[in-house]
Each structure stands twice: as structure tokens, then as C-alpha cells.
A and B are shown apart, each in its own frame.
Chain A
Amino acid sequence: MQGFNDYVDELTFKVGYGLTGNQDIGNFLYSSNLNAIATGLGRGFAVGNISNPDLQWEEQRQLNLGVSFSLFNNHLSANVEAYNKISDKFLFQLPLPSYLTGGPGYQGGVSAPFVNLGEIQNRGIEATLEVNGIQKKDFSWNSTLTFSSFENEVQALDSRVDITETFSTGFINSPITRTVLGKPVGLFFGYKVKGIFNDESTIQDQPKQFGTEFLSRDESTTDTWLGDIQYEDVNGDEVINENDRTFIGNPHPDFTFGFRNSFAYKNINLSVFLQGSYGNEILNLSRILTTGLNRPYRNQLAEAEDYWTPDNRDAEFPRPRPGDDNPNIKVSERYVEDGSYLRVKNLKLGYTLPGEFTEQFNISRLNIYGSVQNLATISGYSGYDPDVGSFNQSATRTGVDFGRYPQARIFTLGLNVDF
């Protein structure tokens, strides 16, 4: 054991199991409440919600297995934990179809009940690795790497409600995600795309799309023709319609990471923090607006200039067509993008004034620093910011970007004074 102790400073194995409750939803959901709404006949009262008198806690059962160790005189330490978290009876507002709930609450719609919907499993691993690389008089370096990866799977759904999340604004009214047994929560849901119709000689042999004919622009302004998007006949029934929507993307990353390095050389200190995510996809709904080519007078991204014309057949975008509901801009693979990124989240450079100088003013230490947050992001994502999170904090709208306000780049100049 003598040799072992020479290298290993600390070694800990951890096992943990916990049961926690979650009731993070509104009050009084077990009863039906009335909303007062003005009417031309005096005050009106609308039933505001469908009650659920059987509503219970959500139970989260979590098993953690971990190991942490420290080696080589604490030069290298690590903490690795694997967890298995079961969210049982998880709380969720049923996405009931509009023929049961009507419209928005302020217009008298009846909001769907919160229910204990089923069971979600989150399995993952989290690791932290710390290196105290160099500790010299004039130079030091240490480094922390965190790594996280998880899998998410719906294991039970105590409901026959199809968990399909809809996005409705003045411009879009479409399903966007779907959550089913045995798959992760909130997979993107829409049409697959074959390309742009480009061949007049074969177009009549293709499956008809959304009840339109294949007719040239001279014959019809509303039917399908060269330059339009061709969608994939997913169910093979020789027509393209609502039944051809399918899973088109996954908002969950393969892993996320953070990497911090701190250096000090004499009086100068520098730290760099990188963070990133790999393997997640983003449903970029704002692109429907910024490249849709469907509204006169609406500004478009410069790249949207590359739209289909008879002289530009190898175009990125379909031919312009009017209407927010024209078939070229349906929620489809065209709006699913790789959301992986690497970001220089923070860079900080400091200088500590010499002690003999500052002690004249009774200051034991004076550090001047400048830092930049969100200095740079490397990503293929075309939107403002790949770090989109969940739209309206809804688990079934994770990775949905509708022009989320981007994170600001923040420059800071500061003084740290110790007396």
C-alpha cells in the first residue's frame, strides 16, 4: 500500500439514493375557476380551466453512483458521477386539442388540466476533472473540465393524449414537437424534404401535395409547380398530406461541456472559460419569417436572394409564393439545424500592482482587470444564438427558436481592492 499512497491522496466512492417531490405548478388546479371577462352585457364569467381533483406530487427517484479521487499531490483530481433519475407521475399540462379547450384564456378558452402524466427516465454521467498543472513561484496553471451527457426517455404515458406541441402565432399554426413512449421528450415533428421540383417531364408522376394539382404558373397561381418544395411521402400512400409528418430532429445534445483554464505569470493573471454543446438540433422557426419569401415588404435575410427561378434552378430556396400558409414554408427539415457550438464564454485578464507600491496607500492588494463575456461563438447555427434553451421554459419546446433574445457580449473593466 505504500506505493499506492504515494500517488493517491484521496479516493471516495459514493452511492446515493433520494426521493424528492415536485409540485412546481399553479395553485387550485384541482378545482375549476372562473375568469371575469368584460362583455357588452356586463361582466361575464368564463370557466377558466378543466380541474383535476386527483392531482398529486411528482416523484423524482434518483440513484447516484460516484467516484472522486485526487492523485499526485492533488495535481489531478476528478469527480465522476453517474445518475439514473426517474420522474414518476411527472406533472404536465395535457396538450388537449383545440376542439376541447377552445382558444386562449382571455378569450374564454378553457385551459387543459395538469395531470400526472407518466414516467420519464434521465440517465447520465457528469464528470469534473481538475488539473493543478503548474505551481511555480512566477507561473501557475490550473484547469477544470466539466462534461455532462444524458439520455432522456419517456417510459410510461398514463394517457391516451398524443403529446403533440403546437406553435400558434399570427404567422404560424402548426405542430412542432411530439413526445411518444420510448423516445426522448419533445422531438421535432414535421415534414421531410426531398428537394425542389426541377424537372417538368417527371413532375406529374410525383405524389400530389396538400390537395394541389401540378399546374404551371400560367395555369394556376395556387397549385404546385417547378420551384416548389417537394416533400417526402413518408407513409407511402402516394399523396403528401398531414399524415406525412414525422420526427425530424432531436433537441437533446450528445454532451455538453465547460473548460476553464487559469494562468498566472508574475503579476498577470488570465482565465478563459469555454463552454459548448454537441449533437443537439434546433428548430429555427424564425427562419420561416426571415427567409419565407411569402410577404411583400417584409425584410428577408440576404441569403434568401438565392431563390428558385427558371434561370436559377440550383437554388437554396423555393420560388416565392404569397401567404403565410403556402406549402413551401411548412414546418419541415428545412428549419432544423445543427445546434452544436463552442463558445468563449468568459475571458479575463488582470494585473496586480506591486505590493510595495500599493502598501503606501494601506492597500494590501490591488488588481486591475478587464473581462469579456460571450467573446466568440463557433457554430454552424444560422440564428442569433445557439444557446436557445426551452421556449417559454416548456420541456416540449426545447430547442425551439423563435427569435430568442441573444445573449449580450459584456465588456467589464474592474478593480479588486483588498485592504
Chain B
Amino acid sequence: MKSFKNRLGFITGIVVLAVILTSCGDSFLNTKPKDSISLSNFYASNAQVEASTNILYDAPWFGWNNKASWSITEMQAGNGRSYSNDVVSFNDFSTQGDNPVIGSGWASLWTVIAQSNALINNLPQRVASEVDQSTIDNALGEAHLMRAAAYFYLVRTWGPVPIITNNLDHVEDPAIPLNRVQDIYQFMRNDLQFCIDNCVDIASGLNTGHVTSGSAKAMLAKVALYQEDYDTARQMSEEVINSGQFQLLEDYSALFKVENNNNLETIIALQWAGDSYGVGNSIQASWAYNNEITGTGDGYSVLGPTIDIQRAYESGDQRRKPSIMLGGAHYPGILSDDGGYTVPEDVNAQGTNAAMKKYVVGTPTDQGGAGAAQASVINTYILRYADLLLIHAESILANSQSTSDPAALESFNKVRERAGLQGKTSITMDDILHERRIELAFESDYWYDLGRIDRSKAIEMISNQERGTFANTPREDPPVINSIMLNPSAEDFLLPYPSPVVAVNDNFTKDPVPYYFGDE
């Protein structure tokens, strides 16, 4: 028995040793965390894959939406002005690569690209077999569109940037070159075409707010317009118009009410959660004239509508009141429980004798109980149907001096007439630029219009803008203006790259290189 016991001990020893040896493999050392989700246990059901794109509509865009979008576009375009020292350099084209606002705006757009790339590269490999192919395709299509949307802002703001399709490819050698602007446009078109081919036509139910193939067509029309590819712009915009998927709201002011989020005019919009800083729309915090309007302690009034844009509104244009606040105006939707908000007669944001209204939506009560400090829930439009109608009109005008084409006039006049203005019988590029400026004011667009037209014409237009301030009270009639008129240089239409990026990658000081599209 003794020898048997000994043998048993020996055998047990071998078994234990064998267990230890085999356990030291991957499964033992590389355990999966039980209290969090890792990529290896995600994409398991249709519902999870549908929700996997949610992230692309919110937090990654925060740093762009927060300050960068409007200081880069509205301030440089001459629509807004500010004394606020983090953005003051955007008044006069003196922004440096050290500017913290362009740093966060840049990082934000790359966050969108990083998360889109993560989805595009991980989903097909890791998705569970029971998930429907159509669900997978739709999610991939959304990610491609969001990647294109981020690149569209990058290329229009900075010009050449690197094209990145899988962030993991560059971890070991991150000093990648810049790619050429024309290649970035081609890359966006490919992404949008992917969305057109793979996304559903109409979003509904839980998918409301997600982009569709129609969204991609509309965006492709806009991208093509920037390339002066008028045929594609016209074809795509007409497909969108004829689909009937989108339509203008009757009332322009309804566009900027929380209860109308994801209305029929919305083509692509960011979808904010009102929970907290970082996931909500913080624009109201910066723009609202005071904290009475927001009810959440913010409302810093750091942007004012320039004298120039105040003058640009035609008389009777119903878009002015929903866009900017003038003294004495009454807004029933703000402080609605108290009968509305009346703008003080001496209103004066940033020396403009006016204040911002668009994207200012009032207290959490006004927002239907949602929203918090620096986090309102009003969607940020990336593209809406009025924009598309103006793209359509311009695609017909193409390179001619003017057009009376009925299709162009119909699209153009729909936008004008909604604003309570007379339709036109013939339109020029100047008409379209004016209409785009007013219709899309403070929606991060006009700067890019100025950037895509003939450079000397854009410089001349800017040099005629009144970017100054009204002299301090007492107010006189006519008011005294401390005039500021600026002459940007041709280089001012692109921003410097953020300093930390240039410091680690000297390719950012070199010429861009062609992008290899492979054999796709």
C-alpha cells in the first residue's frame, strides 16, 4: 500500500504540474475583464451592432462643436466676433499653432475618425454570426459617412492632412506624411459612396437620428460642389430632392427648437445627451447672453454677431430673429414658464449691440426637462435640406454668370420664400453666397464658402466687412462705430497645424504626398 500511496502522490504531482503548465497559456494570463466590456465580447447581437454607431454622433465631436467650430468658421468669416482670449486671434487671422482651441478642435475631428476606423476595422472581424448582414452593412456605412464628415471639416480648415484608414497601422511609425487635398476629396467620395451603397434609405424607430444613404448622397453633392464637379453635385442633389425623404420646415425658427430635433429638414446632425459636460451641446453656454436665459449658471456671451452680418440681413428676413438677438425682441420659447424672454434694450455682446440666438434654447424646462450646465440637447446640424437646395441651385448655375433655370430658381426660392422674402427670377453666385451666409449663419459654413471661391474675390469680400464694434454707451443715433476692416492674405484661409503635432512629425512642414488607394 505504501508504494501505491507513493505512486498516487507521484501521479497527483504530475497532474498538478500538468494543470499548472497548461494553465499558464493565454487563457490564464490574458483573462478578460469581468467588470467592463472589451472589444472581444462586443458586436454580439443586432441591437448591439445598431447601437455601436451611437458614439459617432456625440462625444467625439464635442471638442469641435464646443468652441473650435464657431471660432474658426464664424469669427474668421466675419459673422461673429469676440474679445475672449482663447479665441481672440480668430478675429483677425492671427491664430498660432499653440492656440488651445484649434488643438481641441483638431483632436476632436481625429477622435471621430479614430472611432469610425475602430468600427470599420473591428466590426467585420468580431461580429457574431447571428447578426444580420444588413445590420452590419448599415453600421459600416454610417461609420464611413462620419469619417468623411470629419475629413470634410479637416480638409477645409487645414488643407492637407494624413489619410488614416486604420489607426493601428501607424502606432509603430506615426510620423506619416500629409496627403494631397485632391486625394482627401476622393477618399471622402469613396466613403460616401460606401454609405450610399450600404445604408438604409430611411431611418426609423430606434434608428431615428442615424444617417441614411440619402444623407450620404446629400453630403456627396456638397463635396462635389467644392470640387466644382457640378454634374455630380446636381445628380446627387436631384436624387435627394426627388426621393422626398427630406423637406423644409415651414418656419425657420422651428429648426432651432429642441422639440424639433431630427425634423424632416435634418440630413446629418449631431445627437447630444444633456447629461453633462463632454456629451452635451455646449454652444449655448458660450453664446447665451446671460445665465438667466440658460438657467444653469452658464451663458457667457463670448460671441457677438458682427456689425457686418447684422447689416447683411435684408429687411423682412425672418431668419434674423431666430439667429441673432436685438434689443427689445421677445422670445416666447425661452423662459417659457415666465411668459418668455425679452432682450434688454442695452444688449451688447462683445461690442455688437446684439447677442446670439441660434442654438440658444433656454433652460432645462424650455428643453423639455433635458439639458444641464454646458450641455444642452439641441442637435448640431452638419447638413440640412436648405443647404442641399442651395447646393442644387449652385450646381445648375455652375460656371455661368447667372441662371434663370426654373429648377435652380425653384430650389433657391424655396429657401428665400421660407424666410418671408421675394423669390428671384435670376440668380448669380453672389446671390447664392449671400443666401448661404444668411441661411446657414452660425452653423459653421460661410468660412468654407469663402475658402472655396476665387481667392481674390474672397479677400475683397472680407476686406469690405465691418468687423468693428459699436462705441460704448450712451448710444447715439446713428451709433458710433470703432471700425475694423481687415485684409487677409491668401494663406490665411488655412489654419496652422497644432504645434504639438508639428513638433513630433516634421512631415507637417513638408509637401503633401499622393495617397495610394490600392486596388479597391
CB distance from A174 to the nearest CB of B (A): 5
12 contacts between A and B (CB under 8 A): A31-B39, A100-B171, A101-B107, A102-B110, A107-B108, A161-B174, A169-B100, A173-B498, A222-B94, A325-B97, A325-B100, A330-B96
- Whether the pair A44, B98 counts as a contact (CB closer than 8 A) is no
- Whether the pair A39, B33 counts as a contact (CB closer than 8 A) is no
Tell yes or no: B58 within 8 A of A by CB.
Answer: yes
Q: Interface 1/0s, chain B 413-425, versus A by CB < 8 A?
A: 0000000000000
Chain B contacts with A in 471-520, Cβ cutoff 8 A: 491, 496, 498-506, 508-509
Select which of A102, A164, A245 is within 8 A of B114 by beta carbon.
A102
Q: Interface 1/0s, chain B 155-180, versus A by CB < 8 A?
A: 00000011010011011111100000
Q: Interface 1/0s, chain A 75-107, versus B by CB < 8 A?
A: 000000000000000000011111111111011
Report chain B residues within 8 Å CB of A322.
83, 85, 88-89
- Whether the pair A324, B59 counts as a contact (CB closer than 8 A) is no
Stretch touching chain B among A1-9, A58-66, A108-116, A249-257 = A108-116
Report chain B residues within 8 Å CB of A166.
500, 503
- Whether the pair B55, A45 counts as a contact (CB closer than 8 A) is yes
Tell yes or no: B70 within 8 A of A by CB.
Answer: no
- Whether the pair B93, A164 counts as a contact (CB closer than 8 A) is no
CB distance from A7 to the nearest CB of B (A): 57
Tell yes or no: B32 within 8 A of A by CB.
Answer: yes
- Whether the pair A97, B111 counts as a contact (CB closer than 8 A) is no
Known: A102-B110, A107-B62. A47 touches B100 (CB 8 A): no
Tell yes or no: A38 within 8 A of B by CB.
Answer: yes
- Whether the pair B60, A160 counts as a contact (CB closer than 8 A) is no
Report chain A residues within 8 Å CB of B52.
45
CB distance from B353 to the nearest CB of A (A): 20
Give the residue name and chain of the A residue nearest to B501 (CB). Answer: A97
Select which of B30, B92, B206, B276 is within 8 A of A222 by beta carbon.
B92
Stretch touching chain A among B4-12, B188-196, B222-230, B267-275 = B267-275
Tell me, in angstroms, the Cα distance from A251 to B316 when the chains sit together: 64
Known: A168-B500, A173-B99, A322-B85. A40 touches B167 (CB 8 A): no
- Whether the pair A242, B37 counts as a contact (CB closer than 8 A) is no
CB distance from A213 to the nearest CB of B (A): 9
Chain B contacts with A in 50-85, Cβ cutoff 8 A: 51-52, 54-60, 62-63, 83, 85
CB distance from A324 to the nearest CB of B (A): 5
Chain A contacts with B in 94-145, Cβ cutoff 8 A: 94-104, 106-110, 112-113
- Whether the pair B39, A41 counts as a contact (CB closer than 8 A) is no
Residues of A at the B interface (CB closer than 8 Å) are: 27-28, 30-34, 36-47, 50, 53, 94-104, 106-110, 112-113, 159-162, 164, 166, 168-175, 178, 189, 210-212, 221-222, 241-243, 245, 294-296, 322-327, 330-331
- Whether the pair A96, B509 counts as a contact (CB closer than 8 A) is no
Tell me, in angstroms, the Cα distance from A178 to B161 when the chains sit together: 24
Tell yes or no: B3 within 8 A of A by CB.
Answer: no
Tell yes or no: B122 within 8 A of A by CB.
Answer: yes
- Whether the pair B503, A164 counts as a contact (CB closer than 8 A) is yes
B: contact size bracket: 35 or more
Tell yes or no: B379 within 8 A of A by CB.
Answer: yes
- Whether the pair B32, A94 counts as a contact (CB closer than 8 A) is no
Nearest first, the 9 A-B pairs at minimum CB distance are A102-B111, A40-B271, A44-B55, A222-B94, A173-B103, A39-B58, A44-B54, A325-B99, A103-B107
Tell me, in angstroms, the Cα distance from A112 to B505 when the chains sit together: 16
- Whether the pair B98, A325 counts as a contact (CB closer than 8 A) is yes
Tell yes or no: B304 within 8 A of A by CB.
Answer: no
Tell yes or no: B429 within 8 A of A by CB.
Answer: no
Tell yes or no: B209 within 8 A of A by CB.
Answer: yes
Tell yes or no: B231 within 8 A of A by CB.
Answer: no
Tell yes or no: B113 within 8 A of A by CB.
Answer: yes
- Whether the pair B42, A45 counts as a contact (CB closer than 8 A) is yes
Give the residue name and chain of the A residue nearest to B109 (CB). Answer: A102
Select which of A40, A97, A101, A172 is within 8 A of B379 by beta carbon.
A40
Known: A40-B379, A325-B95. A294 touches B114 (CB 8 A): no
Chain B contacts with A in 197-218, Cβ cutoff 8 A: 206, 209-210
Report chain B residues within 8 Å CB of A221.
92, 94
Report chain A residues within 8 Å CB of B431.
none
- Whether the pair A110, B115 counts as a contact (CB closer than 8 A) is yes
Select which of A41, A171, A243, A295 is within 8 A of B506 by beta carbon.
A243
Known: A38-B279, A39-B59. A323 touches B30 (CB 8 A): no
Report chain A residues within 8 Å CB of B276.
38
Report chain A residues within 8 Å CB of B57.
39-41, 44
Cross-chain pair count, CB within 8 angstroms: 270
- Whether the pair A34, B38 counts as a contact (CB closer than 8 A) is yes
Report chain A residues within 8 Å CB of B381.
none
Give the residue name and chain of the A residue nearest to B43 (CB). Answer: A45
Report chain B residues within 8 Å CB of A45.
37, 42, 51-52, 54-55
CB distance from B202 to the nearest CB of A (A): 16
Tell me, in angstroms, the Cα distance from A239 to B100 when the chains sit together: 23
Tell yes or no: B383 within 8 A of A by CB.
Answer: no
- Whether the pair A106, B98 counts as a contact (CB closer than 8 A) is no
CB distance from A227 to the nearest CB of B (A): 16
CB distance from A212 to the nearest CB of B (A): 8
- Whether the pair A31, B51 counts as a contact (CB closer than 8 A) is no
- Whether the pair A326, B94 counts as a contact (CB closer than 8 A) is yes
Tell me, in angstroms, the Cα distance from A330 to B32 when the chains sit together: 45
- Whether the pair B161, A99 counts as a contact (CB closer than 8 A) is yes
Tell me, in angstroms, the Cα distance from A171 to B86 when the chains sit together: 7
- Whether the pair A162, B209 counts as a contact (CB closer than 8 A) is no
Report chain B residues within 8 Å CB of A159.
172
Report chain B residues within 8 Å CB of A107.
59-60, 62-63, 108, 111, 278
Give me 15 other A-B pairs in contact (C-beta within 8 A), A40-B379, A99-B164, A170-B86 excluded: A33-B36, A39-B273, A44-B56, A47-B115, A102-B110, A109-B107, A160-B174, A168-B103, A168-B500, A172-B100, A221-B92, A242-B502, A243-B506, A295-B85, A326-B94
Report chain A residues within 8 Å CB of B27.
none
- Whether the pair B500, A174 counts as a contact (CB closer than 8 A) is yes
Select which of A47, A97, A327 is within 8 A of B500 by beta carbon.
A97
Report chain A residues within 8 Å CB of B509.
241-243
- Whether the pair B273, A40 counts as a contact (CB closer than 8 A) is yes
- Whether the pair A327, B271 counts as a contact (CB closer than 8 A) is no
Report chain B residues within 8 Å CB of A108.
55, 59-60, 111-112, 114-115
Tell yes or no: B342 within 8 A of A by CB.
Answer: no
- Whether the pair B59, A98 counts as a contact (CB closer than 8 A) is no
Tell yes or no: B104 within 8 A of A by CB.
Answer: yes
Give the residue name and chain of the A residue nearest to B118 (CB). Answer: A47
Report chain B residues within 8 Å CB of A33.
33, 36-39
Select which of A28, A95, A326 is within 8 A of B38 by beta carbon.
A28
CB distance from B41 to the nearest CB of A (A): 9
CB distance from A310 to the nearest CB of B (A): 22
